Structure 1
Amino acid sequence: MANYPRAPEPKREQFRRYLEKGGVIDCLTSVLVCLYEQEEKPNNALEFVKQHLVPHMSDSDHDTLQQELSDLREKCTNLTEENKELRTKLHHYEPYSENGV
């Protein structure tokens, strides 16, 4: 195994507290405990962890992401319409000829 340089202890401790404060440690621990308690271990442990991390999102996180997705879809639709309008205007002022000139 490769030896990676260790971060200074105060920096590591600060990062650990940051993860604890954000609930990351508890979330990961619960998913890993769930994996450990599986009688029949899944073939892909990483996929198991990915699938079981999603339910740990809070409802507010989920609602926020759903709203952001909705807003971005609306923005995309608006930009697509604006693009069509601008192309139409462009073709009106710069008509395309058969020979490309």
Structure 2
Amino acid sequence: MSHYKAPDHKKEQFRRYLEKAGVVDSLTSVLVALYEQPEKPTNALEFVKQHLGTPGLTAADTEALQQEVEDLRLRCARLEEENLELKSRIQCDEPSEETPATE
């Protein structure tokens, strides 16, 4: 069974793209940091994920941001409900166009 191989120029083009985007440098620095750990983490993938994320952002920061997002989603849902309710009340309070206004 034959496996499809991308032409060498496509591989080279992709490699240049990764280098230009800074992906190669980021991956290299994370892997070097993992290599230099005196005590290797039990979950290397989690180490890579944490160190590839936003620099200086801790797990606690991430958790706090996720909680804030959830709180804002709930607030948005409540405000949408309130908005619909207020629109409904306004429509009920407005005189219809068929009924002449009394002066």
Q: How many Å separate the matches in 2 of 1:52 and 1:28?
A: 9
Please, which runs of 5 or more residues in structure 2 have no aligned partner? Answer: 57-64, 93-103
- Identical residues among aligned pairs (%): 52
If the length of structure 1 is used for normalisation, what is the TM-score?
0.56
Compared with structure 1, are the counterparts of its residues 16 and 56 closer, same or farther at alpha carbon in structure 2 (3 Å cutoff)? farther
Q: How many Å separate the matches in 1 of 2:47 and 2:3?
A: 28
Of 71, 83, 86, 1:85 maps to: 83
Higher RCO, 1 vs 2 (CA within 8 Å, ≥6 residues apart): 1
Equivalent AA in structure 1 for residue 33 of structure 2: C
Contact 1:32–1:49, Cα closer than 8 Å, also in 2: yes
Q: How many Å separate the matches in 2 of 1:28 and 1:15?
A: 15
If the length of structure 2 is used for normalisation, what is the TM-score?
0.55
Higher Cα Rg, which structure: 2
Contact 1:31–1:49, Cα closer than 8 Å, also in 2: yes
SS in 1 for 2:13: helix
Shift of 1:11: 1.2
Shift of 1:76: 7.8
Mapping of 1:2-17 within 5 angstroms?
5-17=4-16
Please, which runs of 5 or more residues in structure 1 have no aligned partner? Answer: 58-65, 94-101
Q: How many Å separate the matches in 1 of 2:25 and 2:79?
A: 46
Shift of 1:52: 0.9
Equivalent AA in structure 2 for residue 51 of structure 1: Q
Report the aligned-residue RMSD: 3.5
Aligned residue in 2 for 1:31:
30
